[in-house]
Structure 1
Amino acid sequence: MNKVAVVILSWNARALLEQYLPSVVEHTPSDLADIILADNGSADASIDYARSLGIEVLELPENYGFARGYNEVIKLLEHEYVLLLNNDVRVTSGWLEPLLDFMENHPEAVSIQPKIRWDRQPDRYEYAGAEGGYLDWLGYPFCRGRIFNTLELSKGQYGSAPKKVFWTSGAAMLVRRQCYVSEGGLDERFFAHQEEIDLCWRWNSAGYQLYVVPQSEVYHYGGASLSAENPRKTFLNFRNNLLMLRKNLPDSKRNWVLSIRFFLDLLAATAFLFQKKTKEAEAVIKAWSAFAKTPKSTRKGGRDRAYKELYSHSILVRYHLFGEKTFDKLKL
């Protein structure tokens, strides 16, 4: 058994596996990592295809979603490190070594990610991770290389040195397995979307550090399971973001931050209506309804420490009112 398990969670996605899995097999040294397909109850021929490439398959009985699917598989493993990798990620030669080297030499790091480019336009950063994630005090995520829908060209403008970040992308993140398990893993109530940000927030509260290691590059197609226009994705993003805020904000901040978010989300729903995106507006309302019905869950300890790591300005204001569309132009 190697130190690293590269775990690819997949559901009914043979076409994606045929497109992206060969690069993982080709560029992942067999003496460094074991490649494992975690199949979420697929009904297509995904399992047969993975096995034809010599990949180990762990079969789950049904589609548990991103969060529970990874939790179920990771608790069965004994590797020191686990690399969560989406099934629509193309890796490149030498992608794994810089990540493993960094973790081995930085015991304070609990999770790291590579630079993530967009496989549809490879010269640009990818939406879900880019070059490391951040969060503002109202819970809006953004990245070095991506703010809202502005995707920067990746021209080496942020250098090649590893950088501390607030969250690492679930599209490609290397974690210490024991720290993943001890912190409870991904919150299974989320099902999918922003569950890795919630876990990273908890790691920040526990005093761990997270980094991006740009020497490693991968290419993520993105939106292969749920497109950005899908109301289900809108619902999950809004509801899960609210759950994350309620769980992780300090007691003194929680109620007034959520109050502000209520009005901002109402504004977002109104904007969807003006754009004639009725189903997306409904998804925002349903997200708040589901959030209100979800049993409260907050965490003890470290929340003030993690809150201080959040971006202290409003990314909405900086982006829309001050025109700060790229990370290098943000007021820090």
Structure 2
Amino acid sequence: MAQLISSDCDVIIVNYNAGHLLAKCIGSLLPQLTGSIIVVDNASADDSLRLAEDLPAAGVLRIIRNTKNIGFAAACNVGARASLAKSLLFLNPDSTLEPGALRRMIEVLESADDIGMVGGMLCNPDGTEQPGGRRVFPTPGRAFMRAFGLSRLVKVFPKLFSDFLMHKEPLPKEPVAVEAISGACMLVKREAVADVGLWDDRYFLHCEDLDWCMRFGQKGYKIMFVPDAKVIHLWGACSRSRPIFVEWHKHYGMMRFYRKFFRHQYPRALWWLVAVGVLLRFGLVATHYSAKRAGRALGLGRDRCE
């Protein structure tokens, strides 16, 4: 066990106006760190970097300051290129690792040569499992069902209306192979990255993690979900200030993912139905957030942003 922990693992955190959450994230890493912490900042305008620099992390913390917001995937690549570590943990700044989580993930990553990627269990502050930490790929068919609410029929017709999120399924007792995990907490082997390639930086925000998981799988690497490596994730805490911007890139990213991997596998009619469904969903979400913003402007609510 001790030999595993001596392995060199750098943590890469992409920061954009995460406020005090960045320092909290780094603080959770310091007791279990096996390498360096590389913060890639996408031109934040808040005090997140100052708070991080006040931590007792001299010699461990490196900060790379981008002159503009280049997007999540591109910033991840900046961090990856700045590291020579044997393994890399990509971690969101609104996440904190529970004690022993990094050790456990490294143990699983190094347990077999064909394991290329590992993710922990993303939890809400109350300990319940979040969606996204373990999932199957959202094929156009599954996305169509989810966009139009048909996935709610999964209990009645499990084979016909399956969802791509697995958090409602029984929690496994041991690490299990899954199709995809979340970019909020993603541990990868350096040699696997050299084989698969870096993140696709044509995604600005969202779905780049699905893309990477797909490419890891295409190269024959297993992706493992580790239920006893717990990560507290304040879901959406870093995207509340610009919800429509975030939602646009989420929906755009999903369409790019479909075009890249499923364009030739489905009938054109289904492809257009999925595209319409995605655009309709974005329109509904944008209308919802616009109404909330108007309500706050009228004094009907309070804006909240980390």
Cross-structure match for 2:11? 6
CA contact (8 A) 2:18 2:94 kept: no
Q: How does 1:20-59 map to 2 (within 5 A)?
A: 20-26=25-31, 28-29=32-33, 32-53=34-55, 54=57, 55-59=61-65
Residue 243 of structure 1 aligns with an amino acid whose one-letter code is: R
Check conservation: 2:42, 2:68, Cα contact below 8 A: yes
Equivalences for residues 152-301 of structure 1 within 5 A: 157-227=170-240, 230-249=243-262, 251-253=264-266, 255-265=268-278, 268=281, 272=284, 277=288
**How many Å separate the matches in 2 of 1:41 and 1:182?**
31
Change (3 A) 1:257 1:111: farther
Structure 1 partner of 2:21: 16
2:251/2:282 contact within 8 Å kept: no
- 1:143 partnered with 2:165: yes
Q: What's the offset of the Cα at 1:71?
A: 0.7
Matched, 1:69 2:82: no
Q: How far apart are 1:266 and its partner, in Å?
A: 5.4
Superposed displacement of residue 76, structure 1: 2.1
Pick one of 119, 122, 126 that aligns with 1:113: 119
| Alpha-carbon displacement from aligned partner over 1:157-184 (angstroms, at most 9, x marks no partner) | 4232111111121111101123324433
Q: How far is the alpha carbon of 1:128 from its aligned partner? A: 3.7
The answer to whether the Cα contact below 8 Å between 2:132 and 2:166 also exists between their aligned partners in 1 is no
Superposed displacement of residue 117, structure 1: 0.4
SS in 1 for 2:187: strand
CA distance in 2, matches of 1:75, 1:45: 26
Query: 2:15·2:41 contact (CA, 8 Å) conserved in 1?
Result: yes
3-state secondary structure, aligned to 2:107: helix
Identity fraction in percent: 24
1:271-327 deviation per Cα after TM superposition (whole angstroms, max 9, x unaligned): x29x963859xxxxxxxxxxxxxxxxxxxxxxxxxxxxxxxxxxxxxxxxxxxxxxx
Contact 1:246 1:254 in 2 (8 A): no
Q: Which has the higher contact order (CA 8 A, sep 6+)?
A: 2
* TM, length-normalised to structure 2: 0.76
Q: Structure 1 residues 108 and 250, CA, compared in 2 at 3 Å: closer, same or farther?
A: farther
Residues of 2 paired with 1:16 and 1:254: CA distance?
45
**1:2 and 1:105, CA in 2 relative to 1: closer, same or farther beyond 3 A?**
closer
Structure 2 gap ranges (5+): 1-5, 144-162, 292-306
- C-alpha spacing 1:44/1:235, structure 2 compared with 1 (3 Å): closer
Alignment check: 8 A CA contact 1:8 1:36 kept:
yes
CA distance in 1, matches of 2:40, 2:280: 39
Residue 103 (structure 1) shift = 1.2
Q: What is the deviation of 1:86?
A: 0.5
Runs of 4+ in 1 over 4 A off after TM superposition: none
* Pairwise CA distance, 1:200: 0.8
Q: Secondary structure at the match of 1:248?
A: helix
- Give the C-alpha shift of residue 57 in structure 1: 2.1
* Structure 2 CA distance for partners of 1:228 and 1:17, relative to 1, 3 Å: closer
User: What is the count of residue pairs matched by the alignment?
Assistant: 262
Higher alpha-carbon deviation: 172-181 or 197-206:
172-181
CA RMSD of aligned residues (A): 2.8
- After alignment, is 76-85 or 173-182 more displaced? 173-182
